[in-house]
Structure 1
Amino acid sequence: MNKAIGKSGHLVLLVLFFFSSFAQAQIIKPPKWTISIDSETLKVGEEAKIVFEAEIPAGWYIYANDFDPNLGPLLTTLILDPSENFQLKGDLKAIDVKTKYEDVWEGNVKYFIQKGRFEQTFIPKATSGTISGSLEYQMCSDLTGQCINFDQDVELTFKAVGTVENNPALTTSTDTGTTNKEPEVDSPFGIEEDQGEQEVASSTTSFEIVPLHENESLWGFMVLAFLAGLAALLTPCVFPMIPMTVSFFTGRAGSKATGIRNAIVYGFSIIAIYTIAGTAVAAIQGPEFANWLATHWLPNLFFFGIFIFFALAFLGMFEITLPSGLVNKVDEKAEQGGMMGIFFMAFTLVLVSFSCTGPIVGSILISSAGGELIKPILGMFAFSLAFAIPFTLFAIFPEWMNRLPKSGGWLNSVKVVLGFLELALAFKFLSIADQVYHWGILDRDIFLIIWIVIFSGLGLYLLGKIRLPHDSPMDSIGVPRLLSALFVFMFVLYMIPGLFGAPLKYLSGYLPPMSTQQFKLTGGQNIVEASENILGESVKYADIPLEIPHGIQGFFDYEQAMRAAKKANKPLLIDFTGHGCVNCRKMEENVWVDPQVLKRLREDFVMVALYIDERLELPENDWYTSEYDGKVKKTLGKQNADFQITRFQNNAQPYYVIVDHKENLLAQPKGYDTNIQTFIEYLDGAKREFEARD
């Protein structure tokens, strides 16, 4: 879900959690599939196509099957039962797919939104037959932070005309036609689950996430949207726009009344642009456009250039001035009541900041799915209102600044400091473009070096060791400036260990992925050996590529883990995860790595990681028929997914459950939430409850 905002503050993440948590307390249903044969008259020995069409819920997408399966996401797979009545020709084909660069997977992936279509060519070998099997795929959402694996039953009967005798198409083919030989690609992005309730194939074509409180009021929704607007102010694309606002309005108001009027027009322009344009985007493009603006190389390269331009201006390299003719025309229109200049400034703010606010706005725009209109309009209004109020105040503020002594060098120092900050933040946008094109010019090490140099320069500037144009002579520095310099140098020292592989969790959203680190000092405990110490036996399924990160002792089988928990007299933490689960990795890299969290996970709990997308087929005597959907569960992943659904009525990952030795809940299960303190409180609360029951 959003890679451009990074980790700009827990408030941002908390607000996003409010929106995403609506979908965590219920089983999310799959898309509606239509499966058909595209030929009215089949002929024995002649090619035909099986067409799979999906109506994908708004705000969700499914992966295709024709990109690198080693990236991480699970690809869509068609598995058909053996039959002598038909043979397959070629592989399953994804039709009219979209392509994007996935920052987490560090590669291009192909996917469908709104509608998906796959085609499989086959040749009838008999005048009638049945095509049966399953289509396995994954559905994900960048807005809710969830991924769910499904499988769609395939059951088609066909009739064909003609005979088998002397038919070259049937006698010369080397394909037995009994099983679709797709690359063993699974469904996309990260978790797996059986299709379950088949009533989704009803007449309903739109998708709605049922919230915890179905009768959620519009007022409650607007409050959350308002909080989202306040949170957006903390994003790295919005904060640097403040000096632009100050610079633009400085000197424009001839009187206090005029300044207030301009500021109000500016604020209303922001509200109007977000409300009108945002709602239009929801109706035309949907949340995908917000994702494109936040992650695509083109806007990010454009924003990089803009931030560099303004940074150099604030550092004193040149002054930003509009052409005199344009200024005169704008002033003339202002005198006549026209406010094009102010509106243009508001539009610039919305455009540049949308790279960071897009994922937050997308959480509101998703409400327009299914024809709902009033709710997204009110939500966008509340969001933009909170977003516009501070900028309106800053627009009024320049009048006060104009009355300050012009010779005071502190005002220019403020601009220079913000110029350093904009220069540093510009490289975040370049980093995204760099990863899209695989230029390799901004690896994590290089990025950190750039930031260390920039902030070291800022620290030296604050100490007066560097002077830039327009700076006033300075014989000494004040205490606030000294403290600011010390804070900057502390930040520089914090970044230096990152050159050697330190995670730098407070900057994890800004920095390139850890995998781009060229030099890294690592260590850790072998999880299998640690687990063996508890039971004195080998860890079940440890011979397949399953893991628990950061040296946390753990298991991959629920029953074995429960025995270990009883022996160690610790609560059991169940981690429903997946190989291709992006948000599982985010939790592990941003939350689990915290020393306080890691200490608790290692010492206070026995952990079991249940991979719901693991395709290891179990011995036949371990198969069983699910009470939930009546299907036979043959693989480890399907059994883990069925366990999550039947026991905890949830099918999204990551999902954390803590139980006692009688398999009773010790705390309310928890989904994706990167607030470290909240996760610590979740663990501590479960531990206290366990000790109280013991």
Structure 2
Amino acid sequence: MKKLFSLLLLCLAFGTIQAQIKEPVKFKTELKTLSDTEVEVLFTATIDQGWHVYSTDLGEGGPISATFNVDKKAGVELVGKLKPVGKEIATYDKLFEMKVRYFEHSAKFSQKLKLTGGKYSIEGYLEFGACDDESCLPPTEVPFKYSGEAKASAPAAVKTAEVKTEDSKAAEPAATATSEDTAQVATTAADSAATTAPTVSSTDLWKPVITELQNLGEENTPGDMSWIYIFATGFLGGLIALFTPCVWPIIPMTVSFFLKRSKDKKKGIRDACTYGASIVVIYVALGLAITLIFGASALNALSTNAIFNIFFFLMLVVFAASFFGAFEITLPSKWSNAVDSKAESTSGLLSIFLMAFTLSLVSFSCTGPIIGFLLVQVSTTGSVVAPAIGMLGFAIALALPFTLFALFPSWLKSMPKSGGWMNIIKVTLGFLELAFALKFLSVADLAYGWGILDRETFLALWIVIFGLLGIYLLGKIKFPHDDDSNKVGVTRFFLALISLAFAVYMVPGLWGAPLKAVSAFAPPMQTQDFNLYENEVRAKFDDYDMGMEYARIQGKPAMIDFTGYGCVNCRKMEAAVWTDTKVSDIINNDYVLITLYVDDKTPLPEHIKIQENGTERTLRTIGDKWSYLQRSKFGANAQPFYVLLDNAAQPLNKSYAYDEDIPKYIEFLQTGLNNFQKAK
């Protein structure tokens, strides 16, 4: 499990928005004739200083191994596996807890092929992983394509191709594809488009309009999660952790220890403050370590990965079961015992720091789920310092009582005693963990089209979860660690009231109500099977070429909506802005809405080869194609992203991103309409 979690965190480093494109590895491919019936494909790499390329067959739970992948072949057979050539470096990697092999400065791989006679052809790609001390490339492809004829008198000609590695598709800046490159994609997409011959060619539909958009003005870009918000989220998490059975009972014992072990009251207070500062240092160091080891991550590519989302779904379910009292999740006792004994044998600041570290280990079963969920949330910002800021807020909240009670020891007498109320907090957290777990399962379900968790099913489960939470808070449900008291306090009663009211609030959503409060978590409205809500905005097309042709025939402008199944802000815009009567009226009646999901995992009927930034790439899924369209034509890669086009696929207004200002969105739509009418 630890290896899998490490691998997932490593994958998070393959963020989708980076300051620049890194190209630390350059590969050259070559087809070499060995005999009349045997050839080999050679991959030779030049690696920048400080970087390394991993070798083959490293095993599960480790870094990305180099692999030889075939898309099409005829007249050839693979002989054995891809083989590394040259001097490998073998070492034990502490992160993956396994032995790894890699190349530095240069790398070489060989794959032998057997010619079965006559004409032959083979097309595919080498996939490899590369890292330095601070960051990693995503799984990167080196495409190749060779053909010839097996003849004893005329050996197959040697063929070479220079290819540069690149970051993940979403991480790239505005593409500079030529008209010929774009036509290759557009023609494939147009094959399944409208049967009527369009006036505007597919090539022109995909032609970049980046400059035109810039001339119209700066787009409304979505603001990153602010540092204040991240800090506040971490602080709130720390406050919740304080009132758990793992932390609260330790506070009076620890403060009393510091005040009694020194005859000098000032020194006792100073030691307690140092103890609180040590807690802050430990948790901030955890946040910094995540950034330094794995890099700043933005969960765009992995946010819809099935393995990633199912892993976090199962993890949260396990934590919820633990909070309900099914079992206890604790770190090995020898860890805390070892640190505790070390603290007793030392003195001064080191002793205090080790005591703070012991607290961190002992309280893991309660703080672990909160910290894990916090880090997952802040990692979506792509900010280098976000995890550290989140951990700073968490640690300050956790350390604050130790410092305050040391400064004002009389407060200890009025401090609520530990008891059953802490278990109530723990069980309540279990219900919340269970509710958020469904979000991860929903994202994977939508991206891969499994149809397990549509909107009604999701809302029904949330209604049940929050309904049961309200019943539990009223004392009608008991868990193993709950006491037998039937009394319900005022605070507990009001919390039950809020939970039950929230469950009732979601009930109309089963019939199609927008439910703005949960729009960021619930699946999109299009997954609703039974919908009585009439003021809904639904896309007429989910194919760009077909939608643009329909708009031309109808004589209407097109509104392109680049979205994603895992895009929280997209759901917010749809529920908070599109449900406005005037907005929905304009979109439904005056525009042809074309919604394109950039994380749709549906495979394309045929892979599409494109040229981007001087490198050949392969588009394998529908989401890949729409992501490439957004980058190449509009020079953007974030969602939500809205752009208004005329029938020649030229922009009618500046683009629009996440902003829930309804008047501003109406102005954005109306300006596009006015410009469309003027052009007529």
Report the TM-score range of the alignment, normalised by the length of the smaller protein: 0.5 to 0.7
Query: Once the two structures are superposed, what CA deviation does each residue of 1:256-293 show, in whole Å capped at 9, x if it has no partner?
Result: 73544332211111112222353133399x99999999
SS of the aligned residue for 1:233 comes to helix
Once the 2 structures are TM-superposed, how far is the Cα of residue 655 of structure 1 from its aligned partner? 3.4
The aligned counterpart of 1:360 is 378
The aligned counterpart of 1:115 is 140
Give the alignment's Cα RMSD to 1 decimal. Answer: 6.9
Are residues 603 and 131 of structure 1, via their aligned partners in 2, closer, same or farther at CA, if it must alter by over 3 Å? farther
Pick from 364, 388, 398 the counterpart of residue 391 of structure 1: 398
Are 1:521 and 2:523 an aligned pair?
Answer: no
Matches within 5 A, 1:568-579: 572=557, 574-575=559-560, 577=562
The aligned counterpart of 2:668 is 686
The aligned counterpart of 1:495 is 506
The aligned counterpart of 2:421 is 413
SS of the aligned residue for 1:425 comes to helix
Pick from 272, 278, 288 the counterpart of residue 275 of structure 1: 288
SS of the aligned residue for 2:254 comes to coil
The aligned counterpart of 1:36 is 29
Once the 2 structures are TM-superposed, how far is the Cα of residue 394 of structure 1 from its aligned partner? 5.3
The aligned counterpart of 1:455 is 466
Are residues 441 and 280 of structure 1, via their aligned partners in 2, closer, same or farther at CA, if it must alter by over 3 Å? same
Are 1:556 and 2:569 an aligned pair?
Answer: no
Contact 2:284 / 2:392 at 8 angstroms: preserved in 1? yes
What is the rounded CA distance, in whole Å, between the counterparts of 1:53 and 1:328 in structure 2? 47
Contact 1:297 / 1:433 at 8 angstroms: preserved in 2? yes
Worse-matched range after superposition: 302-311 or 519-528: 519-528
Alignment size in residue pairs: 514
Are 1:422 and 2:430 an aligned pair?
Answer: yes
The aligned counterpart of 2:322 is 309
Once the 2 structures are TM-superposed, how far is the Cα of residue 251 of structure 1 from its aligned partner? 2.6
SS of the aligned residue for 2:253 comes to coil
Once the 2 structures are TM-superposed, how far is the Cα of residue 592 of structure 1 from its aligned partner? 2.2
Query: Once the two structures are superposed, what CA deviation does each residue of 1:607-642 show, in whole Å capped at 9, x if it has no partner?
Result: 35386999999xxxxxxxx9x99x9xxxx9999999
Contact 1:149 / 1:194 at 8 angstroms: preserved in 2? no
Q: For residue 343 of structure 1, what is the amino acid of its counterpart?
A: F
Pick from 652, 662, 669 the counterpart of residue 655 of structure 2: 669
The aligned counterpart of 1:209 is none
The aligned counterpart of 1:13 is none
Once the 2 structures are TM-superposed, how far is the Cα of residue 312 of structure 1 from its aligned partner? 2.7
SS of the aligned residue for 1:250 comes to helix
What is the rounded CA distance, in whole Å, between the counterparts of 1:447 and 1:528 in structure 2? 21
Matches within 5 A, 1:462-473: 462-463=473-474, 465=476
Once the 2 structures are TM-superposed, how far is the Cα of residue 425 of structure 1 from its aligned partner? 0.8
TM-score (norm. length: structure 1): 0.52
What is the rounded CA distance, in whole Å, between the counterparts of 2:179 and 2:251 in structure 1? 62
Are 1:92 and 2:124 an aligned pair?
Answer: yes
Are residues 651 and 466 of structure 1, via their aligned partners in 2, closer, same or farther at CA, if it must alter by over 3 Å? closer
What is the rounded CA distance, in whole Å, between the counterparts of 2:309 and 2:539 in structure 1? 43
Are 1:546 and 2:543 an aligned pair?
Answer: yes
Contiguous gaps of at least 5 residues in structure 1:
1-15, 59-74, 99-110, 155-182, 187-191, 197-211, 214-220, 366-375, 532-541, 549-553, 566-571, 618-625
The aligned counterpart of 1:607 is 592
Q: For residue 393 of structure 1, what is the amino acid of its counterpart?
A: L
The aligned counterpart of 2:357 is 343
Contact 2:459 / 2:509 at 8 angstroms: preserved in 1? yes
Contact 1:37 / 1:49 at 8 angstroms: preserved in 2? yes
Once the 2 structures are TM-superposed, how far is the Cα of residue 441 of structure 1 from its aligned partner? 13
SS of the aligned residue for 1:388 comes to helix
Worse-matched range after superposition: 661-670 or 263-272: 661-670
Are residues 146 and 587 of structure 1, via their aligned partners in 2, closer, same or farther at CA, if it must alter by over 3 Å? farther
Q: For residue 375 of structure 2, what is the amino acid of its counterpart?
A: T
Are 1:251 and 2:260 an aligned pair?
Answer: no
Contact 2:519 / 2:572 at 8 angstroms: preserved in 1? yes
Once the 2 structures are TM-superposed, how far is the Cα of residue 97 of structure 1 from its aligned partner? 8.5
Are residues 654 and 261 of structure 1, via their aligned partners in 2, closer, same or farther at CA, if it must alter by over 3 Å? closer
Query: Once the two structures are superposed, what CA deviation does each residue of 1:421-445 show, in whole Å capped at 9, x if it has no partner?
Result: 323414644885899899x998567
Contact 1:660 / 1:666 at 8 angstroms: preserved in 2? yes
Once the 2 structures are TM-superposed, how far is the Cα of residue 660 of structure 1 from its aligned partner? 8.6
Q: For residue 546 of structure 1, what is the amino acid of its counterpart?
A: D
Contact 2:310 / 2:441 at 8 angstroms: preserved in 1? yes
Once the 2 structures are TM-superposed, how far is the Cα of residue 37 of structure 1 from its aligned partner? 1.6
What is the rounded CA distance, in whole Å, between the counterparts of 2:508 and 2:177 in structure 1? 42
The aligned counterpart of 1:202 is none
SS of the aligned residue for 1:342 comes to helix
Pick from 413, 434, 454 the counterpart of residue 403 of structure 1: 413
What is the rounded CA distance, in whole Å, between the counterparts of 1:319 and 1:31 in structure 2? 42
Once the 2 structures are TM-superposed, how far is the Cα of residue 491 of structure 1 from its aligned partner? 0.9
Contact 1:47 / 1:122 at 8 angstroms: preserved in 2? no
What is the rounded CA distance, in whole Å, between the counterparts of 1:358 and 1:647 in structure 2? 32
Q: For residue 670 of structure 1, what is the amino acid of its counterpart?
A: Y
What is the rounded CA distance, in whole Å, between the counterparts of 1:293 and 1:339 in structure 2? 41
TM-score (norm. length: structure 2): 0.53
Once the 2 structures are TM-superposed, how far is the Cα of residue 92 of structure 1 from its aligned partner? 2.4
The aligned counterpart of 1:200 is none
Are residues 145 and 262 of structure 1, via their aligned partners in 2, closer, same or farther at CA, if it must alter by over 3 Å? farther
Are 1:261 and 2:252 an aligned pair?
Answer: no
Are residues 467 and 287 of structure 1, via their aligned partners in 2, closer, same or farther at CA, if it must alter by over 3 Å? closer
Query: Once the two structures are superposed, what CA deviation does each residue of 1:484-522 show, in whole Å capped at 9, x if it has no partner?
Result: 33221111113334556767564466568999x8x9414
Once the 2 structures are TM-superposed, how far is the Cα of residue 248 of structure 1 from its aligned partner? 5.7
Contact 2:235 / 2:397 at 8 angstroms: preserved in 1? no
- The percentage of counterpart residues that share the same residue type is 15
The aligned counterpart of 1:484 is 495
Once the 2 structures are TM-superposed, how far is the Cα of residue 419 of structure 1 from its aligned partner? 1.9
Q: For residue 360 of structure 1, what is the amino acid of its counterpart?
A: V
